[in-house]
Structure 1
Amino acid sequence: MLRHKREPILADTKQNDSFVEFERVQKSYDGETLVVKDLNLSMPKGEFLTMLGPSGSGKTTCLMMLAGFETATHGDIRLDGKSINDIPPHKRGIGMVFQNYALFPHMTIAENLAFPLEVRKMGKSEREQKVKRALDMVEMGAFGNRRPAQLSGGQQQRVALARALVFEPELVLMDEPLGALDKQLREKMQFEITDLAHNLGITTVYVTHDQTEALTMSDRVAVFDDGRIQQLAPPDELYEQPQNSFVAQFIGENNTLSGKVTKIDNAKNTCVVQLDSGEEIDAVPVNVNAVGERTTVSIRPERVETNKERLSPDAHTLKAEVLEFIYMGDIFRTRLRVAGSTEFVMKTRNAPDQPRLRPGEQIEIGWLPEDCRALDA
């Protein structure tokens, strides 16, 4: 199934047409340690936003506070302009999808979907109509009389998604919903979920620690670490323009070289970094403020070239030793010794003009200055 990317929603954290808002939200379980620290976040209607981060970063706690299963220690959470801090979960009108599906095993699929409608005192004929529509949306219309145990994991996850949508909520929260599925099915469900959310215009908050999932599915991604949002941006901006070393390392594969800033040219938005190995390279100053500061420069593996014809005269070149060459079908992955680092990776596409390198071979590599970012040390 092909998914057409929508125009990205602006990457600022405050929106004028906010539908979901966190304002200075904090959460502590013991009264001393904050697991969420002064969270300010704003989402417009219809956005698919992913909260991404390692275990313990605060992302799931934020989702649980939005759902009403956890209470904020400080701050305000608003939905469509109204504070929901004191509203119980079942009155927030929010759909939820969990990793473990949370389906009632003693009920049929149709009965599972009808349950949230019964709770809302909906009449039988209207219930049946909505259940049929929801099952058809996830291509499970023929399975209404089966029980969860008779379905595969992917089918159960579709049913869990249909149950979250059956009462037509304006907001759906998903907590690692694809974590239990195998790789191929997980990738298929990624596209199905995002297409469904966008086609229905549903505002979605999705929690995952899987960076590929986040980049594939989201309008914007909020990268969490240590209880704070480290960067909030559309997927391409997050990958191409990380704002600090944590984001650069957490999102995709990344090369880092340590050094010291020796010159900053604010007019040209460039700086010179002397690497610890002695070489000097140009970089974009992102997280450096003064000459003499320690920095870590970041270069994505696919931006590194061996073919000088593909590089402009401004490109940097460094000597490198091939340590490992791996054929991966569509790409070659080469591990190099560069400027003292033995973990420097270059990814080149499998093409007739790309050489197949051998361990021990001495080569010259290069990249454009704008592809090199000087971040925090």
Structure 2
Amino acid sequence: MTQTLEAATLTRDAVSDDTCFARFTNVQKSYDGVELVVKDFNLDIRKGEFVTLLGPSGSGKTTCLMMMAGFETPTHGEILLKGNPISGLPPHKRGIGMVFQNYALFPHMTVAENLAFPLEVRHLSKEEVKQKVQRALAMVRLEDFGDRRPAQLSGGQQQRVALARALVFEPELVLMDEPLGALDKNLREEMQYEIKRIHASLGVTMIYVTHDQTEALTMSDRIAVFNDGVVQQLAAPDALYEEPENAFVAYFIGENNRLQGEVVERVGDVCSVRLDSGDVVRAKPVAVGGVGSRTTLSLRPERVSIIRDGSALPDNCFTAKVQEVIYLGDHLRTRLSVCGNDEFIIKTPNAEGHGVLRPGQEIEIGWSSADCRALDA
């Protein structure tokens, strides 16, 4: 909890009041007056930034989005938009675009009528409505679909219409709640790049909620990783992946080998950890105590190398036994037994010269202590 609040404070210091567009300050939410589903949420968002709230189901991320939208009220704390508190404003007066997972399109209206609706309730002229609808359709590449009804569209096309409707009245902030969850893998990936393209072209501020780590890494400027109502880490995608601050973030973002052990030595930027198997691993201390404290080592599969004759030796070298090899096109995913762990994964590129590994084969593997992070137990 302390690490989380410190990270939030550091981020807030880096976002000046001049560039801060939306702000959550010590926000809490309880539905029953006892249990907090959101605990002291602090987040500053820059104008034009794409921020993703990422976490498992029930972690509090959607509740934070609903409080910004006005569909939920904070139990404690304050939410500001462009420097002004908005907790007393009803949703329709916040000027926020919203995209839901189920599209929420009016089935009895055509695509053009769906897009025109938020403009008509704002009392724009017919000519202005027509121009803005055409512009929004062009933005999502559906210029020829204005006369169709939602039922005549594919899932991806319906989601494009929902996105266009959220943008048609030119809001400064767009909120998205698991908008791609109902799409198949290929459509989901296509829409990720579509949303990223639209965000880059419009410069609108976006807050996006998902439980899909790949989606978050692909689209975001920064990601807030939630668990149990608390932000575990707030950082850019590469920092989250390469430098997780605790074991939950390391486990939740990308594939990760975890080894349990006890710190037996700590000197500067390197600590030695005796694993439960008896093997000793050198690692980078990130969130551990002194000698005798328990720790979880985090090691990405792609950071492990197969040691071949003549290769330079890293500071961690072990003999491993191949259990399973899975062909995944551009790389091989190999499961090993090493250091008492039968589920140790390495990833090697499918390239000439890498050779073929077979179950039962013994190989030498190694990794740098700088790539192995010693985190909380």
TM-score tier by shorter-chain length is over 0.9
Give the structure 2 partner of residue 317 of structure 1: 317
Counterpart contact for 1:11–1:232, Cα < 8 Å:
no
Measure how far apart 1:352 and its partner are: 2.0
Distance change in 2, residues 1:327/1:11 (3 Å): farther
Counterpart contact for 2:314–2:366, Cα < 8 Å:
no
SS in 1 for 2:157: helix
CA distance in 2, matches of 1:142, 1:311: 59
Give the structure 1 partner of residue 350 of structure 2: 350
Give the structure 2 partner of residue 12 of structure 1: 11
Q: Does 1:93 align with 2:95?
A: yes
What pairs with 1:55-94 in structure 2 (closer than 5 Å)?
A: 55-94=57-96
Give the structure 2 partner of residue 145 of structure 1: 147
Give the structure 2 partner of residue 206 of structure 1: 208
Distance change in 2, residues 1:348/1:115 (3 Å): same
Give the structure 1 partner of residue 329 of structure 2: 329
Give the structure 2 partner of residue 238 of structure 1: 240
What pairs with 1:77-226 in structure 2 (closer than 5 Å)?
A: 77-226=79-228
CA distance in 2, matches of 1:297, 1:110: 54
CA distance in 2, matches of 1:152, 1:235: 31
The equivalent position to 1:47 in structure 2, one of 46, 49, 69, is: 49
Counterpart contact for 2:298–2:375, Cα < 8 Å:
yes
Measure how far apart 1:205 and its partner are: 0.4
Distance change in 2, residues 1:280/1:53 (3 Å): same
Measure how far apart 1:263 and its partner are: 1.4
CA distance in 1, matches of 2:357, 2:312: 23
Give the structure 2 partner of residue 270 of structure 1: 270
Counterpart contact for 1:11–1:234, Cα < 8 Å:
no
CA distance in 1, matches of 2:297, 2:312: 20
Measure how far apart 1:80 and its partner are: 0.7
Per-residue CA shift, 1:166-192, capped at 9, x if unaligned? 000000000111111111111111001
Measure how far apart 1:311 and its partner are: 5.9
Distance change in 2, residues 1:339/1:120 (3 Å): same
SS in 2 for 1:12: helix
Letter in 1 for 2:147: N
The equivalent position to 1:25 in structure 2, one of 18, 27, 36, is: 27
Distance change in 2, residues 1:118/1:281 (3 Å): same
Per-residue CA shift, 1:27-53, capped at 9, x if unaligned? 000000000000000110010011110
Per-residue CA shift, 1:105-125, capped at 9, x if unaligned? 111111111111111111111
Measure how far apart 1:13 and its partner are: 4.1
Give the structure 2 partner of residue 3 of structure 1: none
Measure how far apart 1:336 and its partner are: 0.6
Counterpart contact for 1:11–1:220, Cα < 8 Å:
no
Per-residue CA shift, 1:115-157, capped at 9, x if unaligned? 1111111111111111111111111111111111111111111
Distance change in 2, residues 1:258/1:333 (3 Å): same
CA distance in 2, matches of 1:280, 1:11: 35
CA distance in 1, matches of 2:114, 2:247: 45
Give the structure 1 partner of residue 5 of structure 2: none
Letter in 2 for 1:241: E
Per-residue CA shift, 1:232-258, capped at 9, x if unaligned? 111111111111000111111100111
Measure how far apart 1:307 and its partner are: 3.1
Letter in 1 for 2:37: V
5+ unaligned residues in a row in structure 2: which ranges?
1-8
Counterpart contact for 2:282–2:315, Cα < 8 Å:
no
5+ unaligned residues in a row in structure 1: which ranges?
1-9
Give the structure 1 partner of residue 294 of structure 2: 294
Letter in 2 for 1:126: E
Distance change in 2, residues 1:171/1:310 (3 Å): farther
SS in 1 for 2:118: helix
Percent of pairs with identical residues: 65
Counterpart contact for 2:307–2:313, Cα < 8 Å:
no
Higher mean alpha-carbon deviation, 60-69 vs 362-371, is at 362-371
CA distance in 2, matches of 1:169, 1:309: 60
SS in 1 for 2:255: coil
Measure how far apart 1:346 and its partner are: 0.6
Letter in 2 for 1:295: T
CA distance in 1, matches of 2:214, 2:10: 19
Letter in 2 for 1:215: L
Counterpart contact for 2:29–2:74, Cα < 8 Å:
yes
Distance change in 2, residues 1:114/1:11 (3 Å): farther
Number of equivalenced pairs: 366
Counterpart contact for 1:256–1:298, Cα < 8 Å:
yes
CA RMSD, Structure 1 to Structure 2 (Å)? 1.4
Measure how far apart 1:194 and its partner are: 0.9
Distance change in 2, residues 1:21/1:310 (3 Å): farther
CA distance in 1, matches of 2:232, 2:256: 17
Counterpart contact for 2:313–2:366, Cα < 8 Å:
no
Counterpart contact for 2:150–2:158, Cα < 8 Å:
yes
Letter in 2 for 1:318: F
Measure how far apart 1:313 and its partner are: 3.9
Length-normalised TM-score, structure 1? 0.95
